Amino acid sequence: MAQSETADKILHAATVLFAERGFTETSLRTITGMADVNLAAVNYHFGSKKALINAVFLRFLTPFAEELNRRLDMLDDDTDVGGMPAVEPLLHCLFSSLLVAVNTVDGEPQRFMRLLGLAYSQSQEHLRHSLLAVYGDTYRRYLKLLHEALPHLDPIAFYWRLYFMLGAAVFTLSSFDSIRGILNADYDADTDLNDALHLMVPALTGMLQTPNEH
Amino acid sequence: MAQSETADKILHAATVLFAERGFTETSLRTITGMADVNLAAVNYHFGSKKALINAVFLRFLTPFAEELNRRLDMLDDDTDVGGMPAVEPLLHCLFSSLLVAVNTVDGEPQRFMRLLGLAYSQSQEHLRHSLLAVYGDTYRRYLKLLHEALPHLDPIAFYWRLYFMLGAAVFTLSSFDSIRGILNADYDADTDLNDALHLMVPALTGMLQTPNEH
DNA sequence: TGTACATCAGTGAACGCGCGTTCACTGATGTAC
DNA sequence: TGTACATCAGTGAACGCGCGTTCACTGATGTAC
């Protein structure tokens, strides 16, 4: 897939338009119009609109998962002698992989953050299944390490904290452009994606490490 | 609006279906089919599909904003003699108002959480404008109090932390049903909405209070 | 070297379908004189 | 008390439109004998 120039142009236009408006709100006619290719080319190269949505995600999640695994390997080597990796390095791993992966494919980094947000909110069951099949191993590996770094949390509390973290990250990064716009207008201060991630790491570390009083 | 039985049935069905599938993915035919009313009744009572979406939000956000204002008044009275309200009571205020409001209108509480999540992710500009016009004052009042309780954060850092909190809350609560399902299956432990909120308050308090090292 | 066939990327036009909205209409209830 | 008119909730059928998908087709390139 995506070996032809036409398929590449479709993937690029679909990425931009899906991130801007969502999946249902973007028609194949708009995509092929922007990509300057024939309407039927989407079904020729990808088979269906659903398959196109899948392909858009695979294109940027594959380098992300590879980068994350590479960094977790490095972290494993570093801590071979003395115990487990800590929370903060684990979060750095995650966000740095995101940044690196997003820069290997074309386009604005925050586009992919928006797509990630959409994947969660628009109930695309087919998408969730296909993503879990491809990236499930990496996901479970990361979860195991993170939980080991948070021994004060029982499994239930850990699971909820994980979702608090996912929510904060996905929501903030997928609204990144609009938050930045508001801050520029109100406080005349510019924050780039890297700044935002550096504000997020200590805040989320603090959240995860807070003791859980019942 | 919503004084007739037909309009009420439409509002109820729309609330259920929008929360399940999103706005674009729910057709007026599905809504009127479930409500057992005539298709044209939506446009007769509400004017358009967009106006129906607005009405669904107004119905549960209005009791929420009223309840929140009432609780903030009480908090103001309590702290009249000694300083400002603290972070944790402010979060309790917010979440308790949500719970109370959601129980005054019919239906499962988590439905409204899902709608809130959708309002953020589906780019419904008309909706955001209309909501800010109606609830802007309450929103700004709450923000001011919360910032006063967090004097260690400069405006920029505060703003980002606010979005981390919003993200964690909206995302978690709108995925509440599926998270609960996973926990039931994997750990055989049931968590209701109240439990989830009580796990959230200390975690988010910890996140907000964490110092921001640069 | 020449011919026949297969493969493949891409195209133009049409398919049927479900969508939100509109419109002329009905029938019940309220109001004015 | 009776009649004429206005208002209002609700209806049935149709409107035009944009959607994802399909299909027969073209033209270029590669392969076999």
Q: pTM surpassing 0.85?
A: yes
For residue B176, is pLDDT > 80?
Answer: yes
Lowest mean pLDDT among A11-20, A31-40, B70-79: B70-79
- A207 and B203 in contact by Cβ < 8 A? yes
Shortest CA distance from B185: residue in chain A = A156
Residue B182: pLDDT above 50? yes
Closest residue in chain A to residue B183, using alpha carbons only = A156
User: How many CB contacts within 8 angstroms connect chain A with chain B?
Assistant: 150
Does B6 contact strand D, using a CB cutoff of 7 Å? Answer: yes
Cross-chain residue pair A163–B171, CB shorter than 8 Å: yes
Q: Cβ of residue A35 near strand C, that is under 7 Å?
A: no
Residue B19 has pLDDT above 90, yes or no: yes
Least confident of A74-78, B38-42, B161-165: A74-78
User: What pLDDT is recorded for position A1?
Assistant: 43
Percent of chain B predicted with pLDDT > 70: 96
For residue A132, say whether its CB is under 7 Å from any atom of strand C.
no
Return the higher-pLDDT residue of B84 and B62.
Answer: B62
| A202 vs B contacts (CB less than 8 Å) | 210-213
Q: Decide: helix, strand or coil at residue A25.
A: coil
Asked if the Cβ–Cβ distance from B203 to A164 is below 8 Å, we say: yes
User: Which chain A residue has the Cα nearest residue B26?
Assistant: A24
**pLDDT computed for residue A211 by the predictor:** 94
